[in-house]
Every structure is written in structure tokens, then in C-alpha cells.
Amino acid sequence: MIEYITTRTLENSKGEAKGKVRILKLKEEENAKIEFKCPECGYDGKWDEKWGEPFVQGSGINQKFIIKCKNCNFSIKISKLKKEIKKKSA
């Protein structure tokens, strides 16, 4: 069973949508599977990340995911979509 799944477009430091990320976490697995294209340097990669700190921070609607590019160390914070929708409507 799927615990969490998301696919997002990522912006670089200039605000250009040049990257993407897909996160898949199955309930029976300890790690999340990440497919990533860095918006900053273009690095394409796939890896498993342990589900917990420092990758997952917070809980519920305030939960966010911290992903760092394995090539250039560009850091990206991904909030849950519910949180992003509330921000835009406020």
C-alpha cells in the first residue's frame, strides 16, 4: 500500500521550472524512493532515502521534505500540497 506519493516540478534559484521530483513511500518499506532532476545543475538521479529526520520534517499538514542534489548540493524543501493550496488562497 502507498503511504505517500507526489510528483512535482521544481524551480531553480532564478525561478525557472527546470527540475522535477517524484517521491514514493510504501507502508511496508522503511525507505522512500526518490526520482530527481535537479533544477539547478540538471543532475538526474534515483535513490532511496530513509523515511524520517532529516529527510521528513514535521507531521500532518506541516510536513515537509528536504532533498539535496547529490551533484551540486542544491537544497529543496517540498511542502504538502494542502499547505501550498492554503498559502495561495490566503
Query: Distance (Å, rounded) from C-alpha 55 to C-alpha 77?
Result: 10
Q: How many C-beta neighbours within 10 Å does residue 36 have?
A: 21
Asked whether residue 56 carries a pLDDT value surpassing 90, the answer given is no
According to DSSP, residue 40 is labeled: T
Place of cell 510528483: 7
Q: What is the pLDDT of residues 2-12, one digit of tens each?
A: 998 999 999 99
Q: Cell 518499506 belongs to which residue?
A: 29
Q: Evaluate whether 41 touches 12 at the Cβ level (below 8 Å).
A: no
pTM for the full predicted model: 0.81
4-50: pLDDT as tens digits: 899 999 999 999 999 999 999 999 999 999 999 999 999 999 999 99
Longest dimension (CA), the chain: 38
